[in-house]
Every structure is written in C-alpha cells, then in structure tokens.
Amino acid sequence: MTVQAGGSSDGRDLAAAQAEAVFTLAQTIEEGVAYARDLRTRAIAYGRAGDSIVILPGLATVIGSTEAEAKRRQDELWELVPIEYSLARLAGTLHIDPVLLDLDKPLPDPLPLPPNANQTMFQGTVNIARRGNLTVRQLLRALGGGVGHRIVVGTPEQIADDIEAWFKAGAADGFNLMPDVLPSGLEVFVDNVVPILQKRGLFRRDYAGTTLRSHFGLPHPPSRFAGPTRAVASA
C-alpha cells in the first residue's frame, strides 16, 4: 500500500498519481474539503477514480468526562512542555533562527517559504498564527508544544461530533490519530469515543480483513509477481 504525506503542489501531484492513503494537515473543515476536492480532481486527471485515495488529516485529542476536565488536562499537559523545546521546534518548522522569535510578539513578517522543505507544516503553522493574530507564546500553545496538527479538546461526545462533522462534509475519510498521552490517551479514545462512533454507524464493529489495506476499504491489486500457472506433466 502506498502512503504519502505532503500538501505542496508537487506533493499533491505525487499523491494523486501514486498514493492510496494520504496524511494531511488541515485546521478547518473548509481547508479539509478544499484539499480533498483538489486531490480527487488531480487523481481523475491521472486516470484514477477520485475516491481511490483515503484522506487522513491529523487529529490530536484531549479528552475529559466534562469539557472543563478536558481543558484542565490540556492546561496541565501544557505546563509540562519545556518552552525551549517548543521554540526550537517552531523555529525548525519555520526554518529561522530561534532568536528571531519573541514570545510575546507575533511571528516575524514576512516569512519566506522555505525551498525543498516541509512546506505543508510551514504554511499550516503560519496560517494558524496569522488567522488568530497570535503571539509566539499563544502559537506554541495552539500547536500543542509544536505538533502543528488540529487539536480537539472536550468530552467523548464532543470528539465524536467533530469527527462526524468532518466525515460527513467530505473533509476526511478517517484520521491520523494523535492522542495527548500514550497509552492512556489512546485507551480513553478507544473505550469512550469509538463506541459512540459505532452507534452512529461511523466506525466498524468487526474487521473485514487482516491487512491495513482491508481496514481502509481499499481493493487488493493483483501481484505483479504473479505469472501464468504452468501445467505440470504427471508421470
């Protein structure tokens, strides 16, 4: 199975031509829908079916039994992230020297698009900062210490509502899930969010096969190593 990540124009062309699953970065449903439409249009231009690619945006979750508990958990986790680490990671994403980042000021402007680098993460990070007019300190928190993917904080029902909205809008076929803490964050998601999605008919109750390809609902292409079977003469 061919998996690709990258949202630049070249990355999208590569995905449209070759990928069967794509990891993406989108902060809003509108961004997700626009990406999916663009990628499927490109796939059709390459002679492929538009729905032959599974689109999986990144999704970070912070879950609590109440919304207040989830936000408190997020605050507690944020306090554990060393600010120096966050700054260094942000500077690496932006391809600038960390000394240019003032915690209580917005990002430097302009920020040139780095050549031959992770342009998807760069552009996504800058978009978050500019959209909210955030200071560097606020941006670091919005990024979850530098991860950069969308963060949803709330109860299991709120997380399920968000996933359902993205799926029904056509912004995602599934998600590249990133729980806040491993393994406990994943266990909470599996035990509390998955049953809600199953009740809504949005998640399987049983596996249809034994491979990742089967789990994604992708067809099994014929093996390129399989040749015609030769008859064997019997004595």
Interior/surface letters 23-46, b for 16+ CB within 10 angstroms, e for the rest = bbbbbebebbbebbeebbebbeee
106 part of a folded domain: no
Cα–Cα distance for residue pair 168/113, rounded to 1 Å: 33
Strand partners, 56: 23
108 part of a folded domain: no
Per residue in 195-225, pLDDT (tens digit) is: 999 999 999 999 989 999 999 988 887 777 7
28 part of a folded domain: yes
169 part of a folded domain: yes
Interior/surface letters 203-230, b for 16+ CB within 10 angstroms, e for the rest = beeeeeeeeebeebebeeeeeeeeeeee
Per residue in 65-110, pLDDT (tens digit) is: 999 999 999 999 988 989 999 999 999 999 999 999 999 999 999 9
Confidence of residue 118 (pLDDT cuts 50, 70, 90): confident
120 part of a folded domain: no
CATH of the domain at 5: 3.20.20.30
24 part of a folded domain: yes
**47's tokens:** 């002679």
Cα–Cα distance for residue pair 175/197, rounded to 1 Å: 13
Confidence of residue 227 (pLDDT cuts 50, 70, 90): low
Strand partners, 178: 60
Report the amino acid identity of residue 155: T
Other CB atoms closer than 10 Å to residue 137's CB: what's the count?
16
175 part of a folded domain: yes
Spatial contact of 155 and 66, defined as CB atoms under 8 Å apart: yes
User: Count of alpha carbons within 13 Å of 212, Cβ hemisphere only?
Assistant: 6
E strand or H helix that includes residue 21 = strand 21-24
- For 35, the domain range is 1-59+155-222
Cα–Cα distance for residue pair 194/177, rounded to 1 Å: 12
SS3 46: coil
Counting the structural domains of the chain, the total is 1
Per residue in 139-172, pLDDT (tens digit) is: 998 888 557 789 999 999 999 999 999 999 999 9
pLDDT at 221: 79
Cα–Cα distance for residue pair 207/166, rounded to 1 Å: 23
DSSP state letter for 100: G
Residue position matching structure tokens 């004595």: 235
127 part of a folded domain: no
SS3 56: strand
